[in-house]
Amino acid sequence: MKSGVLGGTFDPIHNGHLAVAEEVRRRLGLDEVIFVPAGKPWLRMNAPLSAATYRVRMVRLAIAGRPYCKLSLVEIERAGPSYTVDTVNRLRAQLDSGDELFFILGWDNLAELPRWHEPRQLVRACSLVAVPRPGYDLPDLKPLEALVPGLAASLILLDAPLVDISASLVRERVSRGLSIRQLIPGPVADYIEEHGLYASENQV
């Protein structure tokens, strides 16, 4: 069994996330991609974040009808900050010993890896799969490897998908009264409208 893990704030989930899940699944032959919404991401402690109930509901709506996409509430249900290494260890504990785990992240996040909690343990606990993100260069891997020994052996670099969408863009467009239907699944757009999410500027 091969499982991908896509962690994020998903505030909101968008077509970029879904394209990443689909591309990595196809290229690596994954059996499932587990979406893990963050509880309190410690690197963004001071940034405003929508309530977990909203973010989780939007993930559910977005992945409905994609049987290989799963949802884990492991970070939402845990008190305190969300550390990826803890999440991966918890997910691994639910798998069989021969199962493979792939943590998926964008190039923007790969550059930040040395600032994460226990990055050396993380690269030992799973493979990292880095996908391109328009607007971000692939970080220089030599200094990254020096800061996080073991990274190079753990890392799988993909050159697709290239989808220029971010949750910040979605939030900004909602707050300006612009359409977001080309950026996120229809049911998620409906949900945002129904609940008046991101309408005020301080949520952007």
- Site residues, ligand ATP (CB under 6 A): 8-11, 16-17, 20, 105-106, 108-109, 131, 133, 163, 165-168
Distance CA 173, CA 92 (A): 38
Please, which residue, 52 or 165, has the CB nearer to ligand ATP? 165
- The alpha carbon dihedral of 94, 67, 58, 113 has a sign of positive
Residue 196 CB, nearest approach to ligand ATP (Å)? 19
Residue 96 CB, nearest approach to ligand ATP (Å)? 26
> Which residues does 127 contact at the CB level (< 8 Å), separation at least 6?
100, 101, 102, 103, 154, 155, 156
Please, which residue, 107 or 195, has the CB nearer to ligand ATP? 107
Residue 136 CB, nearest approach to ligand ATP (Å)? 8
Contact 167, 12 (CB under 8 A): yes
Residue 37 CB, nearest approach to ligand ATP (Å)? 8
3-state secondary structure of 147: helix
Please, which residue, 25 or 133, has the CB nearer to ligand ATP? 133
Please, which residue, 51 or 97, has the CB nearer to ligand ATP? 51
Please, which residue, 14 or 96, has the CB nearer to ligand ATP? 14
CA nearest neighbour of 5 among 35, 30, 31: 35
Residue 3 CB, nearest approach to ligand ATP (Å)? 16
Count H helices and E strands in the chain, helices first.
Answer: 9, 8
> Which residues does 114 contact at the CB level (< 8 Å), separation at least 6?
144, 147, 148
